[in-house]
Amino acid sequence: MHKEIKTVSFEEAAKVIKSGDRVHLHSVALTPHKFINAMCDRGRNGEIYDVTIQHIHTEGPAPYADPEFEGIFNLESLFVGANVRKQTQAGYADYIPVFLGETQQLIREGVLNVNVAVVQVSTPDKHGYVSLGTSVEASKAAVEEADTVVAIINPNVPRAFGDAMMPLSNFDIFCEDNSPLIEHHNAPLSEMDIAIGKNVAELIPDGACLQMGIGGIPNAVLAQLGNHKDLGVHTEMFADGLLPLVEKGVVNGRNKKLDPGKIVAGFLMGTKELYDFVDDNPGVLMMDVAYTNGVGIIKQNPKVCAINSALSIDITGQVCADSIGTKHYSGVGGQIDFTRGAAASEGGVPIIAMPSVTGKGISKITPTLLTGSGVVTTRNNMRWFVTEHGAVNLFGKSLQQRAKAIISVAHPDFREELDKAAFERFGSHYHFVRK
């Protein structure tokens, strides 16, 4: 027998927040918007102030980050999504630089003490368990460590296994919601996406264990893997692009040493088809980011292929993936977690893949990074770098050799000026260096 559940309104649940509290919100597709609205109403009414809002990436409106709530809500994003990017760049919201795998550590070790955690969960099963569904990430840690936990029971939350499963005893206040999960539909692949996808796919061996995110490049890579064999998945997240490979039997996890036969992820973002795939599926384990992104865990599988993207790279291999100059754009995420994990994996292939130019035709490969840009992947971590113009391995290459290699996959329109910048930086000897 599980404990009897008495649900309350969102207005009543939001009263648990006190001035000065830190509130952790569930992330991505499970962003709890009805609770957020009730919380913001309390802020507008002058009932609370100086409340810190904590989350990784959320979907949908984020009114608590708007200028009207200055002094009422302070946002500390662990990853800056599009919904709070403008507010963060204007200084109304803030970002904590942290590897995704360590977000849970901030909570568990009390560096960021959580007073109230708010999560959406599946309908309770007969054993008194609910599931955190598509988002375990750092929210499991928040549920375990918070003073008070609000659970929003939503029948649309899939019953996912792994760390997602939690007993009702972990929760204090219950609400009900029947809102559909937030969906993300893929845009059609561009020619550039397809070209990058083909170049990356050539680096992936049969039996590889994949990590990749969401968007054009990951989907383009997945679309090229239909003839591969025995691929596995251990990743921070996956999206709909993986499903055809599962249905075809290409992704079967047969070669994995850790969690063989299982798809392992920390959170998901996609369509209802993806959420239905995870529901009641013992072949998918939704896990804490301490597990999905732990370098010591990642490296235990052979042939880990980590595919991550970037905003820019300089000619020595310094990768900026979180900012455009001093303007913060996104976050560190799990790029370094998986780059290091893949590098330590037997036969691993760490890859940074990106278009050679922006949508406005500006080169993303530059002599130096813009002033204020954050170096996410250092030149010391770099292995494979891929654009639509090819793939180069930077491991073991000198600074001058790297420059030649990186410039060789830049857009042809910019190679001459990049080569000139390299010559000015390194001197006449640069002309005699082999790629």
Task: Give pLDDT, residue 430.
Answer: 83
Q: How far apart are CA 296 and CA 314, in angstroms?
A: 29
Q: Which of the four pLDDT bands, split at 50, 70 and 90, describes residue 432?
A: confident
Q: How far apart are CA 15 and CA 264, in angstroms?
A: 36
Helix (H, G, I), strand (E, B) or coil at 327: strand
CATH class of residue range 10-176: alpha beta
What phi and psi values does residue 84 have, to the nearest 5 degrees? -125, 10
Q: How far apart are CA 205 and CA 225, in angstroms?
A: 10
**Predicted TM-score (pTM) of this structure:** 0.96
**pLDDT (tens digit per residue) in 251-272:** 999 999 999 999 999 999 999 9
**pLDDT (tens digit per residue) in 51-61:** 999 999 999 99
Helix (H, G, I), strand (E, B) or coil at 413: helix
Residue 435 has pLDDT above 70, yes or no: no
Q: Which of the four pLDDT bands, split at 50, 70 and 90, describes residue 230?
A: very high
CB-based contacts of 68, cutoff 8 Å, min separation 6: 44
**pLDDT (tens digit per residue) in 157-178:** 999 999 999 999 999 999 999 9
> What superfamily would CATH give domain 191-432?
Acetyl-CoA hydrolase/transferase C-terminal domain (3.40.1080.20)
Ranges of H-type helices in 91-180: 100-108, 139-145
Question: Average pLDDT over the chain, rounded to whole?
Answer: 96
Residue 434 has pLDDT above 80, yes or no: no
Q: Are 58 and 28 in contact (CB under 8 A)?
A: yes
Query: Boundaries of CATH 3.40.1080.10 in the chain?
Result: 10-176
Task: Give pLDDT, residue 2.
Answer: 56
**pLDDT (tens digit per residue) in 60-103:** 999 999 999 999 999 999 999 999 999 999 999 999 999 999 99
Residue 1 has pLDDT above 50, yes or no: no
Q: Are 139 and 27 in contact (CB under 8 A)?
A: yes
Residue 202 has pLDDT above 50, yes or no: yes
At residue 283, what is the residue type? G
Residue 195 has pLDDT above 50, yes or no: yes
**pLDDT (tens digit per residue) in 32-48:** 999 999 999 999 999 99
Q: Which of the four pLDDT bands, split at 50, 70 and 90, describes residue 324?
A: very high
Query: Six-digit token pair at 326?
Result: 């001093």
**pLDDT (tens digit per residue) in 381-416:** 999 999 999 999 999 999 999 999 999 999 999 999
Give the mean pLDDT of 121-131: 96
Q: Which residue has the tokens 């957020």?
A: 36
Q: How far apart are CA 276 and CA 67, in angstroms?
A: 38
Catalytic residues: 236
Mapping DSSP onto H, E and C, the string for 155-200 reads CCCCCCEECCEEEHHHCCEEEECCCCCCCCCCCCCCHHHHHHHHHH
Task: Give pLDDT, residue 4.
Answer: 74
Task: Give pLDDT, residue 3.
Answer: 59
Helix (H, G, I), strand (E, B) or coil at 328: strand
Q: How far apart are CA 315 and CA 410, in angstroms?
A: 10
Classify the C-alpha dihedral 97-100-104-105 as positive or negative: negative
Give the mean pLDDT of 142-154: 98
Q: How far apart are CA 201 and CA 278, in angstroms?
A: 25
At residue 219, what is the residue type? N
Query: Boundaries of CATH 3.40.1080.20 in the chain?
Result: 191-432
Share of the chain above pLDDT 90, in %: 95
Task: Give pLDDT, residue 431.
Answer: 79
Residue 308 has pLDDT above 60, yes or no: yes
